[in-house]
Amino acid sequence: MKKRPVIGVTLDAEPAGGWSKLPWYALRQNYLSAVIAAGGLPVALPHHPELAADYLDAIDGLLVTGGAFDVDPALWGGGPPHPKVTLKPGRTDFELAATRTALARDMPVLGICGGQQLLAVAFGGTLIQHIPDEVPGALAHEQPNPRTEPGHEVAVAPGTLLARITGTDRLAVNSAHHQAVATPGAGAVVNARAPDGVVEGIEHPGHRFALGVQWHPEYAVDPRDPVILAAFVEACR
């Protein structure tokens, strides 16, 4: 049996209170189970930017997860934060350091939801701070139905890595975001859009595997979602 590639998975972080009286890390189990099902060996990465290079020495690929927070607009020239913006500076500092180092090493990177937005910032791109304020007639990108169900479809751009992986021009996706990628950054391309034009996927052809998706393929609401994770893990071999 082939050795499983080690996939570094970023964590969410919360201050003291709620589940623990001390500050704590958290991650939905299906991120990890989806990586295992795809053939990878997931390991969690604590938020220490100064150790980003050391962590990357020990892993074969980087998975940047999502969360109910936003990348600081100061990091991409977005001006003051929108009132709906929530920041987690410690988490963002680590994820940006790890992502930039991984890209510099041409290590495979997969960004999911907020991870895609962070990947765009690492590419030098920009974000939409709050979709309802900036996209006329926008869909409900924070879908009212459960995340285990599709919220809408996306059109996959032909000739892209995402199109080659999924073998389709349309995917059903779940949707849990109020921000989106505005510009993908130098050399990066948009590989998927929602019917309202909102960017749903990005990739960088200049890297071996640098892919971001705005939805959550770990839920497998579309039968091709697991193929995305499998392609990422295979690229990490």
Query: What amino acid positions are annotated as catalytic residues?
Result: 113, 216, 218
| b (16+ CB within 10 A) / e for 175-185 | bbbbbbbbbbb
Alpha helices in the chain (DSSP H): 29-37, 52-57, 89-104, 114-122, 131-134, 161-166, 225-235
Residue 57 neighbours by CB distance under 10 Å = 10
Beta-carbon-side half-sphere exposure of residue 163 (alpha carbons within 13 Å):
13
User: What is each CA distance from 112 to 54, 133, 181, 233, in whole angstroms?
Assistant: 23, 23, 12, 14
From edge to edge, which strands make up the β-sheet containing 199-203?
41-45, 6-10, 61-64, 109-112, 210-213, 199-203, 189-193, 152-156, 170-173
Residue 68 neighbours by CB distance under 10 Å = 12
The two tokens of residue 159 are 């000739």
**73, 24 Cβ separation under 8 angstroms:** no
